[in-house]
């Protein structure tokens, strides 16, 4: 099948909910991907921050293949060993002591919302149901996570939204304190608003969130679906803020590109999900869990947190140079580690399309922002090439 045939079939058989580039990717290796016509691209998106080790990393592939030869799925009525190993590794490497495994970011957030409400219910505070979220946030597309998402465009035409979600300006401590009250169950925030345009919380904000939550007796849920797994240069973005959440949600890079999500909680918060209160048929899938364990081990073994910090600094340096050359077409360069947003003065969609024509995959994070989220082991010459392609796309 060629790209043109794939596009044609896609137009006929898929629901038209995605704005898709007119190519089908058929193969990937490291930071390179190939389309159905045999054309090669530099992948600076890593499947939207999922393929944290690049495409088809041998360690992840070996782990998944070994598990495929053992057992593919069990019910949650029994234990499976890869899910136990993964939960244990996640607890060892974070504040967490209890893990719920699922299949996506939105599911991880649904679990966190339910956990927060049940936490207070179990303590006799049934009125504590409200979740305070941020304007411009993104938490997923199922109805609870969508109600938490602070971007009305995603909610249009699919209401009514579940009740109990409030939105305050991101990074504004006073607004957050004003919104927390006797009905609040939790505060749900990203450390960096990824989909919202790679907007980094101001220094000190998350520490202030921690303090406000402690004073009011509410839970802080950190949505690290996009920022987790080393993306910002530490395994979890909260580590750079000197503040520790009660609950953290993960997905995107957790399985290195295989579908998996997780909600991680403290002992006290996690205890709220008592038997029967939550479940997922595929949650804890042994193949996905085996891959995720390999991703964690590889990040450690290959020193990829340091690589990510160095590469991120290098990329931002190259982008600042680019901005000096192209002037006000680049408004701002934001991000941490290898989650980088380049805000343009105009719509970024034509620039993203032009980058693809020039052989590089990136995408939009809000209308005017080009997002880079390459593999954590991306090499510096790739970043030179990426900057060069972006500059040529801007010139066109």
Ligand X SMILES: *Cc1c(COP(=O)(O)O)cnc(C)c1O
* Residues recognised as catalytic: 138, 223, 252
CA 76/CA 248 separation, integer angstroms: 22
What residue ranges bind ligand X (CB under 6 A)?
Answer: 104-106, 109, 138-140, 190, 194-195, 223, 225-226, 251-252
- Residue whose C-beta lies closest to ligand X: 105
Minimum CB separation from ligand X for residue 128, in Å? Answer: 23
Minimum CB separation from ligand X for residue 137, in Å? Answer: 8
Minimum CB separation from ligand X for residue 381, in Å? Answer: 28
Question: Which helix H or strand E contains 81, and what residues bound it?
Answer: helix 81-92
DSSP strand pairing (339-344 vs 369-372): antiparallel
CA 130/CA 58 separation, integer angstroms: 44
* CB neighbour class for 230 (10 Å; exposed up to 12, middle 13-18, buried from 19): buried
- Which CB sits closer to ligand X, 99 or 330? 99
- Which CB sits closer to ligand X, 106 or 307? 106
Instruction: Check the CA dihedral 243-266-151-362 and report its sign.
Output: positive
- Which CB sits closer to ligand X, 155 or 359? 155
Strands (E) located in 242-313? 247-250, 261-265
Minimum CB separation from ligand X for residue 224, in Å? Answer: 8
Secondary structure (3-state) at 358: coil
- Which CB sits closer to ligand X, 3 or 109? 109
Strands (E) located in 45-202? 98-102, 130-134, 165-168, 184-190, 192-193, 199-200
CA 393/CA 396 separation, integer angstroms: 5
- Which CB sits closer to ligand X, 188 or 393? 188
Tokens of 120: 């207070």
160: cis peptide before it, omega within 30°?
yes
- Which CB sits closer to ligand X, 348 or 393? 348
Q: Do residues 119 and 185 lie in contact, with contact meaning Cβ atoms separated by under 8 Å?
A: yes
Q: Do residues 82 and 286 lie in contact, with contact meaning Cβ atoms separated by under 8 Å?
A: yes
Contact residues for 293 (Cβ-Cβ < 8 A; gap 6+): 63, 82, 85, 86, 89
Minimum CB separation from ligand X for residue 148, in Å? Answer: 9
Measured CA distances, 287 to 256, 258, 325 (Å):
12, 9, 47
Minimum CB separation from ligand X for residue 329, in Å? Answer: 26
Q: Do residues 109 and 148 lie in contact, with contact meaning Cβ atoms separated by under 8 Å?
A: yes
Question: 336: which DSSP letter?
Answer: E
- Which CB sits closer to ligand X, 342 or 394? 342
Minimum CB separation from ligand X for residue 261, in Å? Answer: 6
């Amino acid at each position: 099948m060629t790209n043109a045939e794939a596009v044609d079939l896609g137009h006929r058989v898929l629901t038209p909910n995605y704005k898709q580039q007119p190519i089908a990717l058929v193969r990937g290796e490291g930071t390179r991907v190939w389309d159905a016509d045999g054309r090669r691209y530099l992948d600076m998106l890593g499947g939207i921050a999922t393929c944290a080790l690049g495409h088809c990393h041998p360690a992840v592939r070996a782990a998944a293949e070994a598990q495929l030869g053992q057992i593919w799925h069990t019910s949650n009525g029994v234990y499976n060993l890869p899910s136990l190993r993964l939960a244990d590794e996640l607890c060892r490497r974070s504040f967490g002591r209890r893990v719920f495994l699922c299949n996506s970011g939105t599911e991880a957030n649904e679990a966190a919302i339910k956990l927060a409400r049940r936490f207070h219910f179990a303590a006799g505070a049934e009125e504590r149901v409200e979740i305070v979220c941020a304007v411009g946030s993104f938490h997923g597309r199922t109805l609870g996570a969508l109600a938490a998402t602070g971007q009305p465009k995603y909610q249009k035409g699919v209401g009514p939204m579940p009740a109990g979600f409030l939105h305050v300006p991101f990074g504004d401590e006073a607004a957050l304190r004003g919104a927390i009250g006797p009905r609040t169950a939790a505060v749900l925030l990203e450390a960096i608003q990824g989909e919202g345009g790679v907007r980094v919380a101001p220094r000190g904000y998350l520490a202030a969130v921690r303090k406000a939550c402690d004073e009011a007796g509410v839970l802080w849920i950190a949505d690290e679906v996009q920022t987790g797994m080393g993306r910002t240069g530490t395994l979890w973005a909260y580590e750079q803020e000197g503040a520790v959440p009660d609950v953290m949600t993960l997905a995107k890079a957790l399985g290195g590109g295989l579908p998996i999500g997780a909600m991680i909680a403290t002992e006290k918060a996690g205890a709220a999900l008592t038997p029967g209160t939550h479940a997922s048929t595929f949650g804890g899938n042994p193949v996905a869990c085996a891959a995720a364990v390999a991703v964690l081990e590889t990040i450690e073994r290959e020193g990829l947190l340091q690589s990510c910090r160095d590469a991120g600094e290098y990329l931002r340096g190259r982008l600042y140079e680019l901005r000096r050359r192209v002037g006000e077409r680049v408004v701002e360069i934001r991000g941490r580690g290898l989650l980088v947003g380049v805000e343009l003065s105009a719509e970024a969609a034509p620039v993203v399309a032009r980058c693809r024509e020039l052989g590089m995959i990136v995408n939009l994070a809000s209308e005017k922002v080009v997002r880079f989220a390459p593999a954590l082991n991306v090499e510096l010459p790739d970043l030179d090439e990426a900057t060069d392609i972006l500059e040529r796309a801007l010139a066109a």
